[in-house]
Structure 1
Amino acid sequence: MPLPLIALFIAAFAFGTTEFVIAGVLPQVAAGLDVSVPTAGYLVSGYALGIAIGGPLMTIATARISRKTLLIWLALVFVAGQLACALAPCFASMLLIRVLVAVAHGVYFGVAMVVATCLVREDQRGMAVALVLAGLTVSNIVGVPAGSAIGNVFGWRATFWAMFLLGIVSLVAMIALLPGAAVAAARPAGLMKEVRVLGRQQVWTSLIIMLMLMMCQFVPFTYIAPMLREVTGLDAAYIPLVLLLNGVGATAGVFIGGKLADWKLMPSIIALMFVQACVMVAMYLFSSYPLPMVVIVTVWGAINFAIGTPIQTRILTWTADAPNLASSLIPSGFNVGIALAAFIGAMMLTGGFGYRALPVLGIFTMLLGAAVALCSHLAEHRSGLTPPARAITV
């Protein structure tokens, strides 16, 4: 495994932790900044909007900067942002700082995945993407619980001091391990070419498939805690353990998806979406039984990320000649999908459907996604086109 990928993983872990750890200390933050908990919740939605809107815009604006230089600057923004959060005097300043860090987050994941694929052979792209994504999944398993525990014991500001130190580690790793030499072409693509590559059917169909995956994953996951309590009958004390198992499954799924992407990318996506539709059927049928439900939630997490890795690999592969805008749309699309899934789930519950009905939507989205993937794969096969050559400066 190339050492530069380790640096990218560490920074991904840091960004992932700071995005999600706020949920674990939200009541303390609200009390410390003298706002209500619902108002403090804007720190979560503001971060998501920063990624979704600011990430793509800033990625285009920084397209001509050396990739190593840009990644180092993004790490510096992260470090400064955590320091500022730890010292934030009021809610407004905290929100502004979080949004600025979120913009850096959106740029980072787009750029890091492109750079990761350029540091390995073409037949290792999937695993390179998987390692960057693993930073996110591991952050949920290790970083978020650890950050929440620090906040609960020493106060919420200590959480951000810990994130500041983690940022220093990622910054040092970037400086020491990322290569400075060009991987391929040194001339960045223009804005119009960046936009045109989005019209390739492999790209826009992959974005549709990604949206279907988000519906399957986050419509139930947004409400997984009340579902496990009220439908499955689990004691609240066991729910963190179930979520931990889901995270472990997701981390395993990232690497499984990376292997499959390097082996048979589109057949793997199609097959996995059919399998996930079956898992959703099982979740609906066995949601009242604790032990089967725990197993299902673990497998569900694994397959979600096993599908996600090849989708992102495909987008990066088919936009390799103009990767900046397309790569930034990946984290942006994920956050838009998460917000949309939460909204649809809320509409279903408000409309009288119970928690048990939430996985049913996932059955249809997976079958629709599989159909889109199959049509796209067949169209690609008939066209005889091959992916473009890579063009990036590290």
Structure 2
Amino acid sequence: MPLAIYVLGLSVFALGTSEFMIAGLLPTMAADLGVSIPDAGLLVSAFAAGMLVGTPLLAAVTLRLPRKLTMLVMLAVFALSHAVGALAPSYGVLFASRIVSALACAGFWAVAAVTAISLVPADRRGRAMAVVVGGLTAANVLGVPAGTFLGQQGGWRMAFWAVGALAALAVAGVGVLIPADGGRTGERPRLRAELRAYRNREVWLALAISAFTIATSMATFSYVAPLLTEVTGLAQSWVPVLLGVYGIGALAGVALGGRLADTRPLATLAGAISGTLVVLAVLGLAASSVAVTAPALFLFGLLGFLTNPSLNTRVFALAGEAPTLAGATNVTAFNVGIVVAPWLGGLAIDAGFGYAGVTWVSIALGGVALAGVALAAVLQRRTPVPALAR
């Protein structure tokens, strides 16, 4: 695998750490800025909203620009916005810096994914995407706890400085190791040609599968901490340990999923989603048992992240000659799942089903994702599709 792919993974590690570390810093940030914790929580929503809107928009705006230049600019803006955030004198300035960070993150994602698959042969795209997505997984496993620890020890502003430094390191890596053409060959793409990919109903179906698959995991994962303390009965100190178990499973899932995505991504999706539904059912029925919960969380992480490389490579394969905008839209589909799923889980909790009841929301979402995969298999038999999408 080219070293440049790992540089993209490092960049995504910095971006992902920034996106998720706020959750562990909310009480400290709220107290320092003189706002309520719910208001501080809007900093998470601001980032998600920026990603939702910014990814396809910036993919279109930067379509004909050099990929390397685009990534360098986005990473530089991301680093500077964290410096502004670290120095922010008020909540309003910090809120604005989070939106700018999200837009820079979106712009980078829009180009990084298509660059990664352009730098490797077609039969290694899944492994390349596994490295890039692995940066996001590592952010959850290592970056977020580290950011939370820094924030607790030296204040939340130190965590922002650390992420900014990581982004600056990523700028150097991209500048040195990414080819000048960003892996692009032939003529520069045209927006009209890229938009033609959306005439393909299978592209839309693939995007829907991405959204529902991510939502399947996020509806439960968003409430895993209270599930462990309120239902399983563990002390708060055990939560990071079991989140680490989940993270180890996620890293293993991404690595294995990258290899499977290069052969039969559709079959991989069907198997992984089906396995996830079984694990969720076991977790929903026996979450009060530590002996069940710990291995279930490992399998939940493994199977959930096993799907990610296949979700990406399938969209790229179906998009054909228009990968940039389709890949960016797939990132948007992921974020739709990330935003909507916790809301649906919260509705279940408010309705009195409890934290264990959230697993059944995930099962319902996973059932829709699995039905989408089944429909994709039917359409595949009727219409020839690229080998990497099968």
TM-score over 0.5 for the pair: yes
Q: Normalized against structure 2, the TM-score is what? A: 0.95
Residue in 2 that maps onto 1:150: 150
Is residue 130 from structure 1 mapped to residue 124 from structure 2 by the alignment? no
Indicate if the aligned counterparts of 1:211 and 1:337 stay in contact, CA closer than 8 A. Answer: yes
Is residue 317 from structure 1 mapped to residue 317 from structure 2 by the alignment? yes
Is residue 269 from structure 1 mapped to residue 277 from structure 2 by the alignment? no
Deviation at 1:182, TM superposition (A): 6.1
Q: Normalized against structure 1, the TM-score is what? A: 0.94
CA deviations on 1:171-229 (whole Å, 9 max, x unpaired) are: 11000100113634443333333233123233211112122213321111111111112
How far, CA to CA, are the matches of 2:107 and 2:34 in structure 1? 32
Indicate if the aligned counterparts of 2:43 and 2:98 stay in contact, CA closer than 8 A. Answer: yes
Residue in 2 that maps onto 1:195: 195
Indicate if the aligned counterparts of 2:284 and 2:357 stay in contact, CA closer than 8 A. Answer: yes
Is residue 80 from structure 1 mapped to residue 80 from structure 2 by the alignment? yes
Indicate if the aligned counterparts of 2:216 and 2:363 stay in contact, CA closer than 8 A. Answer: yes
Is residue 169 from structure 1 mapped to residue 193 from structure 2 by the alignment? no
Residue in 1 that maps onto 2:373: 373
Residue in 1 that maps onto 2:288: 288
Indicate if the aligned counterparts of 1:203 and 1:318 stay in contact, CA closer than 8 A. Answer: yes
Query: Residue 356 of structure 2 aligns to a residue in which SS?
Result: helix
Indicate if the aligned counterparts of 2:56 and 2:328 stay in contact, CA closer than 8 A. Answer: yes
For 1:224-373, list aligned pairs within 5 A: 224-373=224-373
Indicate if the aligned counterparts of 1:55 and 1:104 stay in contact, CA closer than 8 A. Answer: no
Deviation at 1:19, TM superposition (A): 1.0
Is residue 113 from structure 1 mapped to residue 113 from structure 2 by the alignment? yes
Indicate if the aligned counterparts of 1:110 and 1:327 stay in contact, CA closer than 8 A. Answer: yes
Relative to structure 1, the CA distance from residue 232 to residue 326 in structure 2 (aligned partners, 3 Å threshold; closer, same or farther) is same
* Equivalent residue letter for 2:63: A
How far, CA to CA, are the matches of 2:197 and 2:15 in structure 1? 28
Deviation at 1:38, TM superposition (A): 1.5
CA deviations on 1:134-156 (whole Å, 9 max, x unpaired) are: 11110111111112111211111
* Equivalent residue letter for 2:121: R
Deviation at 1:387, TM superposition (A): 6.6
How far, CA to CA, are the matches of 2:174 and 2:24 in structure 1? 28
Relative to structure 1, the CA distance from residue 209 to residue 171 in structure 2 (aligned partners, 3 Å threshold; closer, same or farther) is same
Residue in 1 that maps onto 2:206: 206
Matched residue pairs, number? 388
Query: Residue 321 of structure 2 aligns to a residue in which SS?
Result: coil
How far, CA to CA, are the matches of 1:25 and 1:13 in structure 2? 18
Higher normalized contact order (CA 8 Å, seq sep 6+, divided by chain length): 1
Residue in 1 that maps onto 2:27: 27
The farther-off stretch of 241-250 and 378-387 is: 378-387
* Equivalent residue letter for 2:99: V
Indicate if the aligned counterparts of 1:253 and 1:303 stay in contact, CA closer than 8 A. Answer: yes
Relative to structure 1, the CA distance from residue 210 to residue 182 in structure 2 (aligned partners, 3 Å threshold; closer, same or farther) is closer
How far, CA to CA, are the matches of 1:25 and 1:355 in structure 2? 23
Indicate if the aligned counterparts of 1:51 and 1:103 stay in contact, CA closer than 8 A. Answer: yes
Relative to structure 1, the CA distance from residue 320 to residue 8 in structure 2 (aligned partners, 3 Å threshold; closer, same or farther) is farther
RMSD over equivalenced CA pairs, Å: 1.7
Structure 2 alignment gaps of length 5 or more? none
Indicate if the aligned counterparts of 1:117 and 1:129 stay in contact, CA closer than 8 A. Answer: yes
Relative to structure 1, the CA distance from residue 119 to residue 23 in structure 2 (aligned partners, 3 Å threshold; closer, same or farther) is same
CA deviations on 1:261-288 (whole Å, 9 max, x unpaired) are: 0121111111222111211221122212
* Equivalent residue letter for 1:234: L
Q: Percent identity?
A: 34
Deviation at 1:31, TM superposition (A): 2.2
* Equivalent residue letter for 2:157: R
Query: Residue 352 of structure 2 aligns to a residue in which SS?
Result: coil
Is residue 223 from structure 1 mapped to residue 215 from structure 2 by the alignment? no
Query: Residue 64 of structure 2 aligns to a residue in which SS?
Result: coil
Query: Residue 288 of structure 2 aligns to a residue in which SS?
Result: coil
Relative to structure 1, the CA distance from residue 336 to residue 294 in structure 2 (aligned partners, 3 Å threshold; closer, same or farther) is same
* Equivalent residue letter for 1:56: P
Structure 1 alignment gaps of length 5 or more? 389-394
Query: Residue 356 of structure 1 aligns to a residue in which SS?
Result: coil
The farther-off stretch of 368-377 and 126-135 is: 368-377
Indicate if the aligned counterparts of 1:51 and 1:335 stay in contact, CA closer than 8 A. Answer: yes
CA deviations on 1:40-67 (whole Å, 9 max, x unpaired) are: 1111100000000122111211111111
Indicate if the aligned counterparts of 1:113 and 1:129 stay in contact, CA closer than 8 A. Answer: yes
